[in-house]
C-alpha cells in the first residue's frame, strides 16, 4: 500500500509539472504591415538567403541585398534595359542553393539581333556585394522596341527544372500561338540552361524547344504548389480575363483565340471563351485586378490563411487572398486595401510573409494578438 501511495504522489507531481510548463499560444486577432526597407521604387523580385538576408530586384536595374532593414547595392553585369514594363525582373535561388550557390534572374536584355529588348534568363553567384560567374541561359528573340509584356517569373519544380515566363511582347496575333517564336510562353530548362529531352516539342522542326506550354498573354505570377508540386501561374488579361492556370506539358492556354476579356476600348477581339484543345483557366477575374506575384500560405503564423493563395493587385492596390478547394476558388478576400501597387508577395523560410509595394519598398505581414492591443 505504501508503494501505491508513493506512485500516486509521483504521478500527481508530474501532472502538476506539465501544467506549470504549458505555454499558451496567444490568439491572433489580425494582421498589420511593418516596413522592412524603403527607397526601392519598383521592387519586382524577392529571394531569401539562408542567413535571413533578402535579395530584391529593382525594375530600373539595381539589385539590393537587404539585411537588418538596410539595403546595399549588389553590382552585376546584366545587360538590363528599362523599357516600358521591362527591366530587372525576377530572382530565385536554386533549390540546392546552399551547396551550389546559384541564383537565377530574368530581365529585359538588349543582347542579340534587332533594336530594343527581349526577356533573358541568367544565373550567377553572390560574392560579398557582387555577382560573379554570370551566364545567360536563355535569351528570347528577336528584340523589339515594344514596351509591353516581358513576363516574367521564375519557379523550380520538384525535379530541379527551372520554369520561367515570357509575355507575348505586345504581339498577340504573332507570338503566343506560334511555337517557332518566343513570347507568350512558359519555358522549362535544366538548371544549367540545357533543354530537357522530354520537353514537349523537342525534335520538331524550327520550334523553340525550351517551350513547355504556350498561348499565354503576360504571366507575372508563378509558384510551385506546396502539395502537388505542380507549377501554377497567373497572367494579365486585357480588360477582364486575368487568369490562374496550372501548367501542363505541351498545353495551349488559348491566348488570344479564347479569352474572358475585351480590348481596352471595350470592343471584342474574340467571340469565344472555350475551344477544343485549349485549356480553361482554373479561375479568371472580371474585372481585371492586374495580378502580380503569388504565393501559397503554408506558415503556422497565419492560421486562418493557411492553404490560401495570395496574389498582388497592381490595379486596385491591395493583396488578394483566394481560398481554393479542389482546384476551385470558393472565397476571395481583399487584404490591406490602399496599400499601393502590390508587385510581389513571398513567404520566407522563417514563415513570415513579405510584400513588395511600388513606391514604398518591402513590407512584412505581422500577426497581431490580443496582448499587442493591451
pLDDT confidence of residue 20: 46
Backbone φ and ψ for 28, nearest 5 degrees, come out as -85, 125
DSSP letter at 233 equals E
| Residues noted as catalytic | 149
Q: Please compute the mean of the pLDDT values over residues 310-326 and round it to a whole number.
A: 98
* DSSP 8-state code for residue 239: B
Stretch 189-196: mean pLDDT: 98
| Alpha-carbon gap, residue 84 to 227, rounded angstroms | 36
Q: Is there a contact between 109 and 139 (Cβ–Cβ < 8 Å)?
A: yes
Domains within the chain, CATH numbers bracketed: 44-288 (2.120.10.30)
Q: What integer pLDDT is reported at residue 27 of this predicted model?
A: 77
Mean pLDDT for the chain overall: 93
CA atoms of 85 and 106, how far apart (whole Å): 13
Give residue-wise pLDDT tens across range 239-249.
Answer: 999 999 999 99
Longest Cα pair distance anywhere in the chain, in angstroms? 96
Question: Would you say 272 and 278 are in contact if contact means Cβ atoms under 8 Å apart?
Answer: no
The predicted pLDDT at position 29 comes to 77
Give the model's confidence band at 374: pLDDT under 50 very low, under 70 low, under 90 confident, else very high.
low
pLDDT bracket for residue 373 (50, 70, 90): low
pTM equals 0.92
Give the Cα separation of 229 and 246 in Å (integer): 11
**pLDDT band at 25, cuts 50/70/90?**
low
pLDDT (0 to 100) of residue 147 = 97
The percentage of the chain sitting over the pLDDT mark of 90, rounded to a whole number, equals: 90
Q: Which three cell numbers stand for residue 210?
A: 525550351
What pLDDT sits at residue 175? 98
DSSP string, 8-20: HHHHHHHHHHHHH
Q: Are 107 and 119 in contact (CB under 8 A)?
A: yes
Mean pLDDT of 157-165: 98
Confidence of residue 369 (pLDDT cuts 50, 70, 90): confident
Contacts of 344 (CB under 8 A, 6+ apart): 43, 44, 45, 46, 292, 293, 312, 355, 356
pLDDT at 350 over 80: yes
pLDDT in tens, 287-315: 999 999 999 999 999 999 999 999 999 99
- Kindly indicate the confidence band of residue 2, based on its pLDDT and cuts at 50, 70 and 90: very low
pLDDT(6) > 80? no
Specify the higher pLDDT residue, 1 or 109.
109
Query: pLDDT higher for 113 or 92?
Result: 92
Categorize the per-residue pLDDT at 10 as very low, low, confident or very high, splitting at 50, 70 and 90: very low
pLDDT at 28 over 90: no
Q: What is the mean pLDDT of residues 142-151?
A: 97
Q: Is the peptide bond before 365 cis (omega within 30 degrees of 0)?
A: no
Determine the Cα angle at 108 with ends 104 and 110, to 5°: 120
210-266 pLDDT per residue, tens: 999 999 999 999 999 999 999 999 999 999 999 999 999 999 999 999 999 999 999
H helix count then E strand count, the chain: 3, 24
Amino acid at each position: 500500500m505504501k508503494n501505491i501511495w508513493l506512485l500516486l504522489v509521483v504521478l500527481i507531481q508530474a501532472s502538476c509539472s506539465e501544467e506549470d510548463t504549458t505555454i499558451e499560444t496567444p490568439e491572433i486577432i489580425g494582421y498589420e504591415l511593418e516596413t522592412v526597407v524603403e527607397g526601392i521604387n519598383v521592387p519586382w523580385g524577392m529571394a531569401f538567403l539562408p542567413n535571413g538576408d533578402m535579395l530584391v530586384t529593382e525594375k530600373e536595374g539595381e539589385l539590393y541585398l537587404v539585411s537588418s532593414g538596410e539595403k546595399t547595392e549588389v553590382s552585376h553585369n546584366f545587360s538590363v534595359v528599362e523599357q516600358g514594363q521591362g527591366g530587372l525582373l525576377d530572382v530565385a535561388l536554386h533549390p540546392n542553393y546552399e551547396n551550389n550557390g546559384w541564383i537565377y534572374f530574368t530581365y529585359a536584355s538588349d543582347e542579340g539581333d534587332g533594336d530594343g529588348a527581349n526577356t533573358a534568363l541568367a544565373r550567377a553567384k553572390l560574392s560579398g556585394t557582387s555577382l560573379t560567374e554570370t551566364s545567360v541561359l536563355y535569351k528570347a528573340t528577336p528584340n523589339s522596341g515594344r514596351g509591353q509584356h516581358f513576363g516574367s517569373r521564375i519557379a523550380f519544380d520538384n525535379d530541379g527544372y527551372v520554369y520561367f515566363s515570357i509575355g507575348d511582347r505586345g504581339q498577340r496575333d504573332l507570338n503566343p500561338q506560334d511555337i517557332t517564336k518566343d513570347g507568350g510562353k512558359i519555358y522549362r530548362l535544366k538548371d544549367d540552361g540545357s533543354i530537357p529531352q522530354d520537353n514537349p516539342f523537342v525534335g520538331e522542326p524550327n520550334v523553340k524547344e525550351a517551350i513547355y506550354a504556350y498561348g499565354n498573354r503576360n504571366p507575372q505570377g508563378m509558384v510551385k504548389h506546396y502539395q502537388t508540386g505542380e507549377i501554377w501561374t497567373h497572367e494579365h488579361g486585357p480588360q477582364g480575363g486575368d487568369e490562374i492556370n496550372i501548367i501542363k506539358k505541351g498545353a495551349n492556354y488559348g491566348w488570344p483565340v479564347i479569352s474572358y476579356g475585351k480590348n481596352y476600348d471595350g470592343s471584342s477581339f474574340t467571340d469565344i471563351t472555350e475551344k477544343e484543345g485549349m485549356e480553361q483557366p482554373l479561375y479568371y477575374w472580371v474585372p481585371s485586378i492586374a495580378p502580380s506575384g503569388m504565393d501559397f500560405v503554408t506558415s503556422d503564423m497565419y492560421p486562418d490563411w493557411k492553404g490560401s493563395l495570395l496574389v498582388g493587385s497592381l490595379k486596385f492596390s491591395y493583396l488578394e487572398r483566394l481560398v481554393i478547394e479542389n482546384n476551385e476558388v470558393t472565397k476571395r478576400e481583399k487584404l490591406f486595401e490602399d496599400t499601393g501597387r502590390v508587385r510581389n508577395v513571398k513567404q520566407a523560410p522563417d514563415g513570415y510573409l513579405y510584400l513588395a509595394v511600388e513606391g514604398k519598398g518591402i513590407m512584412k505581414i505581422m500577426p497581431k494578438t490580443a496582448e499587442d492591443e493591451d
